């Protein structure tokens, strides 16, 4: 089905009926919707009601002349951007200047040359359509930006809810997100990629919402069966996030941050560079923050001991290049 284009509305403002009819005959069959006004007051009222695409405005009218009407229109927020072509029999430079100073966009003199009038209107309606398209695009982009901001605020809320539920990791999500972004910045990742990294880091443990409290908050060691349930949180994260299209690029960290360089991780046993880069970087940060934070079952390790452990796991748990980059970040 072909979409029908809405005809441009032309508002003709002239106190002389014959002048209005002349313009109407020139524009007949040109695809315009023609509307009429006989004086300035009527012109402003019609303009507010119709929001025309162009106003053809006669200068010499009784009461409120064309210059006054033009100024009033430019003061109305709804009408201020509507193109105005001043029309007059006065062929002098001062009238031209007065029209432009009043806010007119173009100026044409009587008697009309039909081809010139059609050409002027065609040009100005095209420009007006282009302006409207730009405004619509800007509005869409602004709405899109606001929507993404709302999404990101929601993600922040989810991550805080997760930290509150898992008492022993409170503040963990914010810390690992900041450190992971620093690593990615060192690699020169672009702004859009960093946005996805941030979202993935904030949501890295979202799958734990599917793990029972009795397992998540257990004080002692987990049984084999409980550990198998705990490990499913990466799969739960994938199942929760994958239906959300705009979060697809953020899936690598929630789904893969427990994979290990030597292939002994979970959920899929990926090995080496099969593991997404951001997940390899994040796993180093995740372990660093976990070990340097207090837990109910152990005190925090000092930084030297933790760093030694991470170096020892290079090539086993961790990507050696990720460990090297992490050490550089700590040194800086």
Q: Is residue 4 part of a domain?
A: no
The DSSP 8-state label assigned to residue 206 in this structure reads G
Number of structural domains in the chain: 2
- Please tell me whether residues 127 and 195 are part of one structural domain: no
Q: Which of 138, 155, 180 is the last residue of a domain?
A: 138
Both tokens of residue 37?
Answer: 């006004």
Query: How do residues 181-193 score in pLDDT, each as one tens digit?
Result: 999 999 999 999 9
Same domain, 304 and 186: yes
Mean pLDDT value of segment 201-229:
88
Contact 56, 12 (CB under 8 A): yes
* One domain, residues 209 and 61: no
> No. of H helices and E strands in the chain?
14, 5
Question: What pLDDT is stored for residue 3 in this prediction?
Answer: 41
Q: What is the mean pLDDT of the chain?
A: 86
3-state SS, residue 14: coil
Here the CATH number for the domain that contains residue 306 is 1.10.3210.10
Q: Quick one: which of 182, 212, 221 has its CA closest to 198?
A: 182
| 40 Cβ contact list (under 8 Å, min separation 6) | 13, 61, 63, 64, 65, 66, 68, 69, 72
CB atoms within 10 A of CB 187: 12
CATH number for 89: 3.40.50.2300
Q: Are residues 218 and 284 in the same domain?
A: yes
* Same domain, residue pair 297 and 207: yes
What pLDDT does residue 1 have? 39
Region 28-34: what's the mean pLDDT? 88
Q: Which of 119, 138, 157 is the last residue of a domain?
A: 138
The answer as to whether 192 is a domain residue is yes
Beta-ladder partners of 88? 109
Residue 28 vs residue 185, higher pLDDT: 185
Over residues 33-40, mean pLDDT: 93
Are 76 and 196 within one domain?
A: no
Would 320 be classed as within a structural domain? yes
Stretch 257-278: mean pLDDT:
97
Mean pLDDT over 231-247 rounds to 91
Residues 129, 172 within the same domain: no
Same-domain check for residues 171 and 319? yes
pLDDT tens digits for range 268-296: 999 999 999 999 999 999 999 989 987 66
Pair 89, 66: CB distance under 8 Å: no
**113-152 burial string, b = 16+ CB within 10 Å, else e?**
eeeebeebbeebbeebeeeeeeeeeeeeeeeeeeeeeeee
Compute the average pLDDT of residues 154-178. 74
Mean pLDDT is highest, among 20-24, 52-56, 203-207, 325-329, for 325-329
Residue 150 in any domain: the answer is no
Q: Which residue has the higher pLDDT, 134 or 229?
A: 229
Same domain, 218 and 302: yes
Per residue in 42-85, pLDDT tens? 999 999 999 998 999 998 888 899 999 999 999 988 888 888 98
Per-residue model confidence (pLDDT) at position 220: 76
Task: Please report whether residue 156 resides in a domain.
Answer: no
Confirm whether 3 is domain-assigned. Answer: no
Is a pLDDT exceeding 50 seen at residue 4? no
CB count within 10 Å of CB 330 equals 12
Residue 64 within any structural domain of the chain:
yes
How much is the pLDDT for 2? 41
- Predicted confidence at residue 300, as pLDDT, reads 84
Residues 132 and 242 both lie in one domain:
no
Q: Domain check: are 131 and 257 in the same one? A: no
Q: What is the reported pLDDT for 35?
A: 94
Task: Quick: pLDDT tens for 93-140.
Answer: 677 777 778 888 888 888 878 888 888 888 787 777 666 666 777 777
Question: What's the pLDDT at 28?
Answer: 86
**Structural domain harbouring 246:** 166-331
**Same-domain pairing of 45 and 119:** yes
Would 159 be classed as within a structural domain?
no
Residue 78 near residue 45, CB atoms below 8 Å: no
Which residue in the block uniquely carries the two structure tokens 């941030």? 198
């Amino acid at each position: 089905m072909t979409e029908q284009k809405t005809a441009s509305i032309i508002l003709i403002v002239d106190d002389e009926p014959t002048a209005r009819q002349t313009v109407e005959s020139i524009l007949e069959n040109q695809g315009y919707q023609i509307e009429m006004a006989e004086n300035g007051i009527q012109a402003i009222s019609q303009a507010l009601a119709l929001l025309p695409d162009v106003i053809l405005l006669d200068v010499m009218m009784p009461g409120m002349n064309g210059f006054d009407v033009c100024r009033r229109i430019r003061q109305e927020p709804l009408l201020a951007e509507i193109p105005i072509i001043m029309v007059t029999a006065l062929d002098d430079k001062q009238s031209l200047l007065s029209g432009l100073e009043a806010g007119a966009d173009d100026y044409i003199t009587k008697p009309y040359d039909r081809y010139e009038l059609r050409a002027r209107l065609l040009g100005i309606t095209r420009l007006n359509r282009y302006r409207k398209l730009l405004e619509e695009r800007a509005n869409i982009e602004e709405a899109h930006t606001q929507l993404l901001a709302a999404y990101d605020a929601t993600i922040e809320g989810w991550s805080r809810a997760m930290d509150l539920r898992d008492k022993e990791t409170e503040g963990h999500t914010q810390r690992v997100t900041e450190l992971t972004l620093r690593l990615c910045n060192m690699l020169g990742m672009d702004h859009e990629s960093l946005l996805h990294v941030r979202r993935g880091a904030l949501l890295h443990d979202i799958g734990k919402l599917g793990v029972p409290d009795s397992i998540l908050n257990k004080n002692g060691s987990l049984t084999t069966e409980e550990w198998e349930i705990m490990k499913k949180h990466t799969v739960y994260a994938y199942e929760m996030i994958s239906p959300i299209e705009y979060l697809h690029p953020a899936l690598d960290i929630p789904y893969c941050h427990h994979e290990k360089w030597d292939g002994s991780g979970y959920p899929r046993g990926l090995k080496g560079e099969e593991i997404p880069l951001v997940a390899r970087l994040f796993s180093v940060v995740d372990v660093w923050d976990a070990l340097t934070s207090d837990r109910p079952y152990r005190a925090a390790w000092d930084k030297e001991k933790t760093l030694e452990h991470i170096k020892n796991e290079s090539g086993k748990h961790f990507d050696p290049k990720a460990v090297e980059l992490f050490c550089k970040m700590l040194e800086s």
